[in-house]
Amino acid sequence: MKRLEKNEALCVGCHQCELACAKAYYKVEDPAFACIRVEDGWDDAGEYRSTIHICNQCGKCSEVCNTCVIQPNAKGVYMIKKKECVGCLMCVGFCPEQVMVQSDERTEPSKCIACGICVKVCPTGALSLVDD
């Protein structure tokens, strides 16, 4: 299965991954339109750190879809057949990592397709693509 992997210990919270993803697919540098989400804040131990939310191709989006338009491809990456999608947004609402994107400019949501754009722009190697 081809998927994104994270190493939060290396994340410096620069948000380049979010901006690159949003720019590539929505032509805006706005984290709200990225299929990856980085949260910065104080943890329980009192340390300031970044938490990365990525799509691990868990398939929850596919499970909740009653049109069956989100299916894994040969590499195990869940893809949305946009032509058939009714834009109900259940997949967006049920995504355990909340990394699917909804835009009012479009009638269908989008999800991570493990393209690796975020990996390329990550300056610390906190993100990687694996194929296992």
Q: Does the CA dihedral 20-24-27-33 come out positive or negative?
A: negative
Please count the residues of this chain forming the interface with another protein, following the rule CB under 8 A.
Answer: 20
Candidate list 10, 12, 24, 64; residue touching another protein; CB under 8 A:
64
122 near another protein, rule: CB under 8 A: no
Residue 64: CB minimum distance to another protein, A: 5
* 90 scored as a contact of another protein (CB under 8 A): yes
Residue 124's closest CA among 15, 47, 37, 3?
A: 15
Asked whether position 86 contacts another protein by CB under 8 A, the answer is yes
Distance CA 51, CA 68 (A): 31
Asked if 9 is part of the footprint of another protein (rule: CB under 8 A), the reply reads no
CB of 54 or CB of 92, closer to another protein: 92
Closest distance to another protein from the beta carbon of 105 (Å): 9
What is the distance between the alpha carbons of residues 71 and 24, in angstroms, rounded to a whole number? Answer: 22
Residue (of 49, 35, 63, 55) closest to 130 by Cα position: 55
Among 14, 15, 50, 94, binds another protein (CB under 8 A): 94
